Structure 1
Amino acid sequence: MDIKKFVARRKALQISQIKLSAGICTQATLSKFERRGRVPSLAILEQLCARLGLTVDELNEDQASSVTQMRQELDHIERQLMMENYQVVLQALNRIAVSEIAAVPLRMQYYYLNGLLKSLINGAVSDVCFDFDQILDDLDQTHETVFTPLVYVGLGVMYSRLSELAKAQFYFEKVHQAVKQALVNGDDQDYLRLLTMIFYTAEYEATREDFTTSNGLINDGVSLCSEQHVTYYLPRLKYLATANAIQQCQPDEQIQQLLSETVAFARINHNQVVEVKAAALRRRYLQARKHA
């Protein structure tokens, strides 16, 4: 609430606290509001604002604008993370002071993005756990929001990269259960985040050579992309499907088709990371066939 706007309007109109509060509340109540930010009841605040030609909404405009701006910024960062633009994400997160984020959902989003990025770029375990603990132990203690399974994704990625596979398995099983539940319930409101869970779980299962589970998740992800008309994750899902097909020694025609689809979706989404990875995968595949 922009109390400074309220005080500035009162002073501009040269209305004393005594005069403004007369018949509405005590001067002490008004003084506590102006000096200490202690907001009176809505009925009192509306009457005080009316005398100054203001509305309560006008006092909240800046805060609402700030929340909207922060949400847009974090959503943009989240999309960049989905496209593996880690340097862009790192720089953007470093520009944000979490102390300036008042809204709990946005604080959770910030800590989730920060923690997942650190997991993906092999950040310090203590730093990753600190970010995720803010969600699990404080902001989402009841573990009811989408950010809890997203935290499990980050922890699974971290432990997988540390080769602590039992711990990675523990967290990815939780993520897989959350994915199954969301798909059964048709709960696709947070479909981009659901795609995040699907992709990383599919990727993890591929590292375990459980291609049946991995490919099943990939198909779920592709279907969800189609239903929601989004393509952010299609390049990565198609790349993973291609890598799985090569590992499973699938027919050359199928592999070439998947490679072509991967490159096509990477170009549509301007995902240069996947485009480069697909080119390298194609070279390795062709060389392996030549020497087979």
Structure 2
Amino acid sequence: MDIEKFIARRKALKISQVKLSNGICTQATLSKFERRGRVPALAILNQLCARLGLTVDDLSENQANSVTQIRQQLDEIERRLMMEDYQSVLQSLVDLKVEQIDAVPSRMQYYYLCGMLSSLINGTASDICFSFSQIVDDLDRAHQTIFTPLAYVGLGVMYGRLAEPEKAQFYFRRVRYYVEHAGSSGYANDYLRLLTLIFYTAEYYAISGDFVTSNRLIDDGVALCSDEHVTYYLPRLKYLATENAVKQQLSDKLIKRLMSETEAFARINHNQVVEVKVAALRQRYLQGIAASENN
């Protein structure tokens, strides 16, 4: 981040640190940014830049190529995380150092990916909490970006796997609120991440036995995929719907239709993880039917 450009603009406009920070943050926060490179929360930095007639992106102009390259890398890693390619995601994050990332949104994305991956592969709670605290306690302290509810999802997943249901419920209730108010929160256009919120919340309610809420969220996710013409999450949403149908002992016709749809979407999206899962689920389901008929 080109902090010198920020300082030069402030001095050219003859605005003191006290005047610039007034009503936005403390003078100490601004001083730490200018002298030590400690980047404040995105909401604060946006306001400071706006007061100087700049944007946050303006501070990265001299590094435009590297900024774009890192953003593309992170987007690709996030796509692979959606596809459950955890080994590849892990290796990519190891290769990418946070020190390389100056842009605040990209830093939030990096910490989200680190925390979410750790939550999904049973990483240590301390590492997970550290990653997400970088977002909710520092980079997005005002909780104005979608990375805050994404952090809540990761924390909910972590506590669910640690068998701490009250803590998991606390976070997923918050996420559900964000999902239900996505339009007013400004997240509606960030539909891939909104689908992440929807999927893991639906999965949580399914595990909790609340199939009504889970299925409603699944339907919302499928509708969003249809509206936005995206298919990344369809295999996982359809698989979750199939699991729910089996657990609810719904009709054989419906269950088999859902299995076929899941297999089809998994093949289209080259999601081998879901292909394996649905094949195993089909086998267990058919074995269960055969056993009940023999009895």
TM-score (norm 1): 0.80
**Does residue 156 in structure 1 map to residue 133 in structure 2?**
no
One-letter identity of the residue aligned with 1:230: V
Q: Find the counterpart in structure 1 of residue 195 from structure 2.
A: 195
Give the secondary structure class of the aligned counterpart of 1:135. Answer: helix
Q: Report 1:141-180 matches (<5 A).
A: 141-180=141-180
Cα displacement (A) at 1:100: 1.2
Cα displacement (A) at 1:60: 6.7
Q: Give 1 or 2 for the bigger CA radius of gyration.
A: 1
Q: Find the counterpart in structure 2 of residue 8 from structure 1.
A: none
**Does residue 285 in structure 1 map to residue 285 in structure 2?**
yes
Q: Which runs of 4+ in 1 moved over 3 A?
A: 37-44, 59-62, 183-187
Q: Distance in 1 between matches of 2:275 and 2:147?
A: 30
Q: Find the counterpart in structure 1 of residue 209 from structure 2.
A: 209
Cα displacement (A) at 1:144: 1.1
Q: Find the counterpart in structure 2 of residue 104 from structure 1.
A: 104
One-letter identity of the residue aligned with 1:76: E
Cα displacement (A) at 1:185: 6.9
Cα displacement (A) at 1:188: 1.8
Gaps of 5+ in 1: 3-32, 45-58
Q: Distance in 2 between matches of 1:248 and 1:183?
A: 32
Q: Find the counterpart in structure 2 of residue 275 from structure 1.
A: 275
Would the alpha carbon gap of residues 214 and 184 (structure 1) be closer, same or farther in structure 2, given more than 3 Å must change? farther
Q: Distance in 1 between matches of 2:289 and 2:127?
A: 43
Q: Find the counterpart in structure 2 of residue 86 from structure 1.
A: 86
**Does residue 182 in structure 1 map to residue 182 in structure 2?**
yes
Contact kept? 2:146, 2:187, Cα under 8 Å: no
One-letter identity of the residue aligned with 2:257: Q
Q: Distance in 1 between matches of 2:232 and 2:69?
A: 22
Q: Find the counterpart in structure 1 of residue 42 from structure 2.
A: none
Contact kept? 2:205, 2:214, Cα under 8 Å: yes
Q: Find the counterpart in structure 2 of residue 264 from structure 1.
A: 264
**Does residue 220 in structure 1 map to residue 223 in structure 2?**
no
Q: Report 1:20-99 matches (<5 A).
A: 40-41=8-9, 63-99=63-99
Q: Distance in 1 between matches of 2:168 and 2:11?
A: 53
One-letter identity of the residue aligned with 1:253: K
Cα RMSD for the two superposed structures: 2.5
Cα displacement (A) at 1:217: 0.2
Would the alpha carbon gap of residues 107 and 60 (structure 1) be closer, same or farther in structure 2, given more than 3 Å must change? closer
Q: Distance in 2 between matches of 1:38 and 1:62?
A: 13
Q: Distance in 1 between matches of 2:74 and 2:6?
A: 30
* Number of residue-to-residue matches in the alignment: 248
Cα displacement (A) at 1:39: 6.5
Identity between Structure 1 and Structure 2 (%): 64
TM-score (norm 2): 0.79
Q: Distance in 1 between matches of 2:62 and 2:92?
A: 22
Cα displacement (A) at 1:40: 3.9
